[in-house]
Amino acid sequence: MLPLLLLQPAAQPTGTALTASNSENLVSGMVSNGDYRIYNVEKCDYNVTLFSVYPVFAAHQIEWNTMGKTMAWWSVLIGLPKTADISETEKVRFYASGAKHVAKVAKGLHLTGKRVLDFGCGLGRLSFAFANQLGATVTCVDQSVHHLRIAEQEWAKRKKAGAVEFVASSPDLLAPMAKTRFDFVHSVIALQHMVPALQVVYLEQLCDLLIPGGSGWLQIPHKTPGAVDTGCDMGASIRQGGMQMHSTPLHALKKLFRRRGCRADITDAGRSYIGDDAGRSAFVKLRKRKAGGEPGQSAEAQSATP
């Protein structure tokens, strides 16, 4: 098994001292109040730092980048051809399916000119819809630079409204965002392919990235089949490789969001987005606590504040 730095039993949430100011907590998920930031992975009964999860992240990032070069469209929506490119007719249907999804999850939201973070955006299927339909300024985040390169090319052909920027991610999700915060965060069929430790790391930071009063919609499995979830053994996940399915239990989801100042309304969504015999999915609606910020101030206004 690969050595995992600072992997600790949950009963020992200590950190190694760093020199860091409180302002650095806003721009990196690596530190917290002068120490390495500790993430509690309740499902696996241990704590991790970002150093702990980089080996498993890097291993799977290579695989997703490979799929981005050889079968990008299939890797986002199984059922499409396992080829480097698909027909324009198939692309039109692909992006139309994203528009339907966004119409549901963003119903009643006024996102014109607001900032939206689409995590695990792949080829921009949903990012484009947030921009074109709602006039949002969208940050499309993915671990695969090859998916993002195709998405950027497609956006140039399909742009109608709003704006989309493309950002390659690492476990430190806060770092590339600097002090930018968002009115709405979104993720679907992305977190499920990450081990529980990475799920916790990203979910906490997605809450961190919301403005006070901001909201979000996330999909993640809360139960996977079988008595053992190999995702807790990150070395085993690396050796197994391929497209995997992992989960974080409902009670753990509520607790981790509460720790970061977000209220989470969670519903069981059955097999939505994960297919037969893959466990059970959850839909999470987030709302960031308003304390510490102006109740209605947009992310655009906050990022412009010195």
In this predicted structure, what is the pLDDT of residue 278? Answer: 67
pLDDT at position 109, please?
Answer: 85
**Mean pLDDT computed over 249-260:** 95
**245, 193 Cβ separation under 8 angstroms:** yes
User: Quick check: 146 pLDDT over 90?
Assistant: yes
pLDDT band at 226 (very low <50, low <70, confident <90, very high): low
pLDDT, mean of residues 110-121: 94
> Whole-prediction pTM value?
0.87
Stretch 197-226: mean pLDDT, rounded? 94
Binning pLDDT at 50, 70 and 90, where does residue 108 land?
Answer: confident
Q: Any idea what the Cα angle at residue 147 is, between residues 143 and 150, rounded to 5°?
A: 145
Bigger pLDDT: 18 vs 116: 116
Give dist(CA 40, CA 259) in Å, integer.
10
Using CA atoms, how far residue 177 sits from 125, 208, 233, 272, in Å, is 21, 11, 30, 30
- What is residue 207's predicted lDDT score, i.e. its pLDDT? 97
Give the residue, 120 or 7, on which the prediction is more confident.
120
The band of 158, judged by pLDDT with boundaries at 50, 70 and 90, is very high
CA distance 64 to 11: 34
Burial class (CB in 10 A: 0-12, 13-18, 19+), 290: middle
Tokens 């949002």 belong to 136
pLDDT band per the 50, 70, 90 thresholds, residue 304: very low
Average pLDDT, the chain: 86
- The pLDDT of residue 26 is 73
Q: Which tokens sit at 224? A: 């996977």
What would the mean pLDDT of 166-185 be, rounded to a whole number? 95
The Cα 38–Cα 47 span in angstroms is: 6
pLDDT at 225: 77
| Residue the block writes with tokens 């956006």 | 155
Query: Is 184 in contact with 214 (CB distance < 8 Å)?
Result: yes
Of 59-63, 108-112, 192-196, the poorest mean pLDDT is in 108-112
At 230 the pLDDT is 66
Q: What is the mean pLDDT of residues 237-245?
A: 90
Of all residues in the chain, the percent with pLDDT exceeding 70 is: 84
Nearest to 58 by CA among 194, 253, 152: 194
Residue 302 clears pLDDT 70, i.e. is over it: no
